[in-house]
Chain A
Amino acid sequence: MLEIHNLTHTYGTGPGAHEALGGVDLKVAEGELVCIVGPSGCGKSTLLRSIAGLLRPTGGEILFQGDPVERTPDNLAVVFQDYSRSLFPWMSVADNVALPLRRKGMDGRQRRQAALDALEQVDLAGAGGKYPWELSGGMQQRASIARAIAYRPTLMLMDEPFGSVDAQTREDLEDLVLRVRAKHGMTILLITHDIDESVYVGDRVIVLSKAPAKVVSDLRVQLPGPRDQITTREHPGFVQLRAEVGRLVRGRQGQAASTG
Chain B
Amino acid sequence: MIVLRRIGRLWLVPVVIVVWELATRALGDDSFPPPSTIAGRMREMWLTGPPSRLWINDSAIANIPPSVVRLLGGWLAAALAGVTLGLLLGRSALLSRLFEPIVHFLRAIPPPMLLSFFLALFAIGPEMQVATIIFGVIWPILINSADGARTIDRQHLDTALVFGLSRGQRLWRVILPSATPKIFAGLRVSLSLALILMVISELVGSTEGIGYQLLDARRSYDRPGVWATIVILGVLGFLLNSAFLAVERRVLSWHRTAKQTT
Residues of A at the B interface (CB closer than 8 Å) are 49, 52-54, 72, 74, 76-78, 80, 82, 84-86, 88-91, 99-100, 102-103, 131, 133-134, 147, 151
Alpha-carbon distance between A82 and B178 when the two chains are bound, in angstroms: 17
B158 touches A133 (CB 8 A): no
Apart from the given pairs A85-B153, A88-B159, A99-B169, 16 other A-B contacts in the complex at a CB distance below 8 Å: A52-B158, A53-B162, A54-B162, A72-B162, A72-B164, A86-B155, A88-B174, A89-B255, A91-B173, A99-B173, A100-B164, A102-B165, A103-B165, A133-B258, A134-B257, A147-B163
B262 touches A78 (CB 8 A): no
Of residues 99 through 115 on chain B, the ones whose CB sits less than 8 Å from some CB of chain A are: none
Alpha-carbon distance between A213 and B158 when the two chains are bound, in angstroms: 23
Residue in chain A with minimal CB distance to B155: A85
Residue interface mask B166-182, A partner, CB < 8 A = 1: 10010001100110100
Q: How many A-B residue pairs have CB under 8 A?
A: 70
Which of B156, B161, B164 has a CB less than 8 Å from the CB of A74? B164
Specify which chain A residues have a CB less than 8 angstroms from the CB of B155 in the assembled complex: 80, 82, 85-86
Specify which chain B residues have a CB less than 8 angstroms from the CB of A80 in the assembled complex: 155, 158-159
Specify which chain A residues have a CB less than 8 angstroms from the CB of B177 in the assembled complex: 88, 90-91
Residue in chain B with minimal CB distance to A144: B159
Residues of B at the A interface (CB closer than 8 Å) are 153, 155-156, 158-159, 161-166, 169, 173-174, 177-178, 180, 254-255, 257-258, 261-262
Q: List 9 A-B contacts (CB under 8 A).
A: A52-B162, A53-B161, A72-B161, A76-B162, A85-B155, A90-B180, A91-B177, A102-B165, A134-B257
Specify which chain B residues have a CB less than 8 angstroms from the CB of A84 in the assembled complex: 262
Specify which chain A residues have a CB less than 8 angstroms from the CB of B163 in the assembled complex: 77, 99-100, 147, 151
Tell me if B's interface is mostly helix, strand, loop or mixed: helix
Alpha-carbon distance between A53 and B162 when the two chains are bound, in angstroms: 8
B162 touches A77 (CB 8 A): yes
Query: A54-B158, A84-B262 are known contacts. Are A131 and B254 too (CB-CB below 8 A)?
Result: yes
A90 touches B262 (CB 8 A): no
Query: A78-B159, A80-B159, A99-B169 are known contacts. Are A89 and B164 too (CB-CB below 8 A)?
Result: no
Nearest first, the 6 A-B pairs at minimum CB distance are A100-B163, A90-B177, A133-B258, A85-B155, A89-B258, A78-B162
A54 to chain B, nearest CB (A): 5
B165 touches A99 (CB 8 A): yes
B257 touches A133 (CB 8 A): yes
Alpha-carbon distance between A71 and B156 when the two chains are bound, in angstroms: 17
A131 touches B257 (CB 8 A): yes
Specify which chain B residues have a CB less than 8 angstroms from the CB of A90 in the assembled complex: 177-178, 180, 254-255
A89 touches B254 (CB 8 A): yes
Specify which chain A residues have a CB less than 8 angstroms from the CB of B258 in the assembled complex: 89, 131, 133
Specify which chain B residues have a CB less than 8 angstroms from the CB of A49 in the assembled complex: 158
B238 to chain A, nearest CB (A): 29
Residue in chain A with minimal CB distance to B252: A90
A60 to chain B, nearest CB (A): 21
Specify which chain B residues have a CB less than 8 angstroms from the CB of A100 in the assembled complex: 163-165
